[in-house]
Amino acid sequence: MRLAAQSLALSRGPKNIFSNVSFTVHAADVICVLAPSGAGKTTLLRCLNGLDRAQAGTITANGATLDATLPAGAFAQAARHVRKVVGFVAQDKHLFAHRTALQNVMEGPLVVSRVPAEQARTQAMSLLDRLGVAGRAQAYPAQLSGGEQQRVALARALAMQPHVLLLDEPTSALDPKRTSEVASLIKDLSREGLAVIAATHDMQLVGELQAQVWTLQEGALLCAAA
Amino acid sequence: MRRVFSLLIALGALAPAQLAAQDRSWQTVQQRGELRFGLDVQGGEPYASEDAQGRLVGFEIEIAKALGQTLGVRMVPVQNDWSALVPALMRGDFDIILNGFEATPEHAARVRLSRPYYVFAERLTARANATWTYTNLSSLRGLRLGALGNSQAWLMLRQAGLDPVPYEGVQEPYTDLAAGRVDAVLMDDIIADRYGQAPGLRRVADVATGTYAIGVRPGDDTLLTAINRGLDTLLREGHINVILARWHLGGTRQTTLVTMHAQSEPAASPKHALSRGQIILFFKGALVTLLLACAAMALAVVLGLALAIARRPWAWPLSGVVRRLASAYVEVFRGTPVLLQLYLLYYGLPQVAPWLTLPAAAAAILGLGMNYAAYEAEIYRAGIEAVPRGQWEAALSLGMSQAQAFRRAVLPQALRISLPGMANDFIALLKDTSLVSVITVVELTKRLSITAVDTSGWLVPGLFCAALYFAMSYPLSLLARRLEAGLAKQ
C-alpha cells in the first residue's frame, strides 16, 4: 500500500465537492481521474498532497496520517511526511521563477534530502535528459514553452523519488506527440514501481496509459478497472 | 492756468517724497504704528519665553516694551528659528532682531547693529572631575567642545583652530557635557547660569566678553537711528539697568553699556563665493551624509526583513505574540516623526539608562535605521504577498518546511519585487539624514547652515548643497527606474 484514503469529505458552502471517498493505491498503479471541469479533481489531488484539508476522513502514506481533525501544526508536520513519498505537479507547474530549469530540479534534493550539489546536478541532468529537455537546463521558466515547463515540473517532482506521483492535467500543454512521450514515460516509471494518479480529461492519455479510470461525479468517486 | 498751477504743486509735492524714498524705514514703522521684532521663544529664560499662561516674558521682552514706549510704537513679536533670524530679517518677516543677537564681526558684515544693550561673558564649563586646566583657547586642543552653532563662542573656537560640536538648543550641550559626550561647553554666561549649574559640572573660566545688540536691515538707516536714540534714552535714564536687575542680570559689567557705541562699520565686506576650503568641507559633509545613509539603510534592511518575517502567519509557538510585537513596532515607528525619535534616542534615553549614552553618529544611524526599518518591513511584506501562492505550494510539495519554502522559493522573489521600493526609500533616507543635525552630527545640511553664516548668504552655499544632494540621489533614482522597468518586463 502506497497511499490510502478513508472516508474523505469536503464541501464548500452548500456545494458538496466530494464525500465518503475511500481508496487504496498500490505500487505501480496507474490511475486516471476523469471528471468535468470544476468537479473537484484538482481539490482531491491537493488534499492528497496536504495542500488542502478535507473536512473529514484520513489520508495515510509513509506511515503518517493526515487526519482532518488534527490541529494546524500537527497537520503541517504530517503533511511533510506524506509529501516525502507523494509528489505533486500542479496544472500551472509553478516552477521557481528565479531559478533555471536545472536549479528547479536540483532544489528538492539539495534542500530537503540534503544531497551533495554535484550528485544533485548529475541526477537532475539525467532526469532532464530522460524528459527531453536537457538542452534547456540553463533556461529560466519564463524562457520555456508550456510543454518544456510541463516536463521540467515533472522532472522536479521525480527528483524527490516519490512512491506516488499526483499529476493535475499533465498533458494540457502538450501536443499529441509529446503526450505519447509523457504516456510512455509514465508507463516506464510505473514499471519501476511508481504509482501515478493523474487528473485529466485527455482521452489520448487515458488510452495510451491503459490506466484504471476513476470518475468523480456529484461528489462520489467511482473506481473501475480499465 | 489753474490746471498748470495745480500740476506744479503736485510736482513740487513729489520731489521731497522721492528723496525720502531712499529710506522710509522709520517712517513706515511709524505709520504702521508697530515695530515687529524677530525672536525665538525656544531660546528660553531669561531672554524670551512663555509663562504658564502663554504670555511672553523675559528681559528682552521688557526691553522691547520699554523701547516701544520711548519710540511711540507698539512692539509686535514674530517667532522665528534663532539660527535663521538674519535671513528672515532680510526677507522682511520682521523689522529688527532683538534676541540674544551677538555683536560679532560676522553679524556686522550682514546687518546693521545698534548700540549694545547687554554685556555678557563667554563662560567655559566642564565636568567637576575634569583634570585639565585652562590657560587659553589653544589649551583646549584635543578636547571635545560644545557651543551653540554659529554663536560668538562657536566662531571664537573655530577661529582658534578648534572644531566645536554645533548645538541648536541651550540645554542639550550641558546634558551632553554631564553625559560625557563633550568635555567642555563654551556659552554666554546668561545661558551657563541657567543651564550649566547641574551637579557634576563646574565653571572653569570666563574667556571673553561680548555684547547683545539689535539687528537692522542694511539701508534702514532711519530706523537704526531711531532705535539707537531709543536705546540711548533707556540707558541714560536707567530703564535697562532696572530691567536687568529685575532679571538678576545686573552687575558691574553692565555699567559700561552707557558709554558703548554701535559697531559702526562692517568688519569685513560680505563675500558670496565659496572658498576652496569650504568646498572641501561641503564634500566632507556629503561623505558623512552618504556614510550615514548607507549605514542606516543596512540596519533598516536587516531589521526590516526580521520584522517582515516576524509578521508572517507562522504556525510556531509564540509566533502570535511576536507578530503583534512586530506590528506594534511598525505602527509606532511609522506613526511618529523621526525627528522626535532621534531626540528621544539621543537625549531622552540616557536619562533613564545612563549606560545607553550613545555617541552622536551611532544614535543617528540607529535612529534613522530603526525608523526606516518600519518602512522596509512594509515593502517586504508587500513583496512577500506579491509572490504567487503556487510558489509556496510548489516548494511545500517537494517536502520543504514552511521556513525552507520561505527562504528558498519566496524570499528571493520577494526581495526582487521589493528592490525599486528599497531604492526609493534610500533616496528618501539620504535626504532625511539632514535631520540628524539636531543631535550634533555635522552632515551636509548642517555644513550649509554653518557656511551660510560665513559667506553671508544662503543662495550660493544652498545651491551648491542642493547640487551635492542631487548628485547623490539622481543616480539612485535612475537605478530605481531601471529596476522597475526590469520587473515590468518579467
pLDDT digits (tens, 9 = 90+) for B8-37: 444 444 444 444 457 889 999 999 999 999
Min Cα distance A143 → chain B (Å) is 10
Q: Look at residue B476 and give its three-state secondary structure.
A: helix
Q: What is the DSSP letter of B274?
A: P
CA atoms within 13 Å, Cβ hemisphere of B408: 25
If you search the block for the grid coordinates 490510502, which residue do you land on? Answer: A4
Q: Give pLDDT tens digits along chain B (490 positions).
A: 455 545 444 444 444 444 445 788 999 999 999 999 999 988 778 899 888 888 999 999 999 999 999 999 999 999 998 878 888 898 889 999 999 999 988 888 889 999 999 999 999 999 999 999 999 999 999 999 999 988 899 989 988 999 999 888 888 899 899 988 999 999 999 999 888 888 889 999 999 999 999 999 998 999 999 999 999 999 999 999 999 999 988 888 888 888 887 765 555 555 667 788 888 889 999 999 999 999 999 999 999 999 999 998 887 778 889 999 999 999 999 999 999 999 999 988 888 888 888 888 999 999 999 999 999 999 999 999 999 999 999 999 999 999 999 999 999 999 999 999 999 999 999 999 999 988 888 889 888 887 776 666 778 888 999 999 999 999 988 988 888 787 765 5
Question: Which H/E stretch holds residue B97?
Answer: strand B96-97
Measure CB to CB from residue A83 to each of B390, B399, B413 and give the nearest one: B399
Contacts of A27 (CB under 8 A, 6+ apart): A2, A163, A193, A194, A195
- Would you place residue A173 in the very low, low, confident or very high pLDDT band (cuts 50, 70, 90)? confident
Give φ, ψ of A11 to 5 degrees. Answer: -135, 150
Per the CB < 8 Å rule, is A90 touching B394? yes
H/E stretch holding A7: strand A3-12
CB contact under 8 A, A160 and B398: yes
Residues of chain A in contact with residue B490, where contact means CB-CB under 8 angstroms, are 97, 142
| CA of A13 vs chain B CAs: smallest distance (Å) | 23
Asked if B132 and B233 touch (Cβ cutoff 8 Å), the reply is no
For the whole model, what pTM was predicted? 0.79
How close is the nearest chain A Cα to the Cα of B296, in Å?
29
Residues in chain B with CB shorter than 8 Å from the CB of A77 are none
Subunit contact A79:B396, Cβ cutoff 8 A: yes
Q: Name the B residues in 277-296 with CB < 8 Å from any A CB.
A: none
Check residue A224 and give its pLDDT. 59
What is the β-pairing status of strands B96-97 and B34-39? parallel
A88 vs B408: CB contact, 8 Å cut-off? no
Is the pLDDT at A200 greater than 50? The verdict is: yes
Neighbours of B340 (CB within 10 A): 11
- Taking contacts as CB-CB distances below 8 angstroms, the residues of chain B near A76 are 315, 402
Query: Helices (DSSP H) in B121-220: which residue ranges?
Result: 152-159, 172-179, 189-195
Residue whose entry in the numeric block shows the C-alpha cell 514703522: B29
Q: Measured between CB atoms, does B400 come within 8 Å of chain A?
A: yes
d(CA A95, CA A112): 17
Taking the Cβ of residue A12 and every Cβ of chain B, the question of whether any pair is shorter than 8 Å is answered with no
| Cβ atoms of residues A43 and A17 within 8 Å | yes
**Four-point Cα dihedral B63, B64, B68, B69, nearest 10:** -30
Distances (CA, A) of B329 to B191, B315, B384: 38, 21, 19
Task: Tell me how far apart the alpha carbons of residues B160 and B355 are, in angstroms, rounded to a whole number.
Answer: 33
Reading the block at residue B72, the C-alpha cell is: 511711540
Kindly state whether B395 is in contact with chain A, defined as any CB-CB distance less than 8 angstroms. Answer: yes
Determine contact, residues B231/B69, Cβ cutoff 8 Å.
no
Q: Is B490 within 8 Å of chain A by CB?
A: yes
DSSP string, B436-462: GGGGT---HHHHHHHHHHHTT-SHHHH
| CA pair distance B82, A26, nearest whole angstrom | 86
> What's the CA dihedral at B292, B156, B125, B342 to 10 degrees?
-20
- Give this complex's ipTM: 0.94
Q: A79 contacts in B (CB within 8 Å)?
A: 396
Length reported for chain B? 490
| A173: helix, strand or coil | coil
Residue B446: C-alpha distances to residues B164, B285, B328, B466 (Å): 13, 8, 33, 13
List the single residue in B315, B390, B404 with the smallest CB-CB distance to A111: B404
Q: Which of A80, A94, A107 sits opposite B401 (nearest CB)?
A: A80
The model's confidence at residue A25, banded by pLDDT at 50, 70 and 90, is very high
**Cβ pair B170, B195 in contact under 8 A:** yes
Contact, B196 vs B93, CB < 8 A?
Answer: no
Segment A40-57 shows an average pLDDT of: 92
Alpha helices in B196-345 (DSSP H): 221-236, 239-246, 276-310, 319-335, 338-343
Which has the closest alpha carbon to B208: B234, B183, B189? B189
Between A98 and B350, name the one with better pLDDT.
Answer: A98
d(CA B476, CA B490) in angstroms, rounded, equals 22
- The per-residue pLDDT for B473 is 92
B206 within 8 A of B121, measured Cβ to Cβ: yes
Could you tell me if B76 and B34 are in contact, meaning their C-beta atoms sit under 8 angstroms apart?
A: yes
| A142–B490 C-beta distance less than 8 A | yes
For B182-203, give one letter per residue: b (16+ CB within 10 A) or e.
Answer: bbbbbbbbbbbebbbeeeebee
Closest by CA to B72, choosing from B183, B229, B287, B271, is B229
Non-local (6+) Cβ contacts of B457 within 8 A are B270, B272
| Strand pairing category for A56-61 and A164-168 | unpaired
Q: Which residues of B touch A162 (CB under 8 A)?
A: none
* Predicted local confidence at residue B272, as pLDDT: 63
> Is the Cβ pair B402, A160 closer than 8 Å?
no
| Cα(B407)–Cα(B421) distance, integer angstroms | 20
Residues B190, B195, B200, B203, Cα dihedral to 10°: -10
Q: Are A170 and A184 in contact (CB under 8 A)?
A: no
- Cβ <8 Å between B394 and A95: yes
pLDDT band at A119 (very low <50, low <70, confident <90, very high): very high
User: Crossing angle for the helix pair A117-130 and A101-111, nearest 10 degrees?
Assistant: 130
Q: Does A88 touch chain B (CB under 8 A)?
A: yes
Using one digit for the tens of pLDDT, what is the confidence trace for B303-355?
999 999 999 888 777 888 999 999 999 999 999 999 999 999 998 888 888 88
| Run of H or E residues at A25 | strand A15-25
Grid coordinates given for B474: 539622481
Of A37, A8, A41, nearest to A24 (Cα)? Answer: A8
Q: Which of A76, A97, A112 sits opposite B398 (nearest CB)?
A: A112
Mean pLDDT of the region A183-199:
93
pLDDT for the residue A225: 46
Provide the edge-to-edge strand list for the sheet that holds A15-25. A15-25, A3-12, A56-61, A64-67
When the pLDDT of each residue in chain A is averaged and rounded to a whole number, the result is 91
pLDDT tens by residue, A8-21 = 999 888 888 888 88
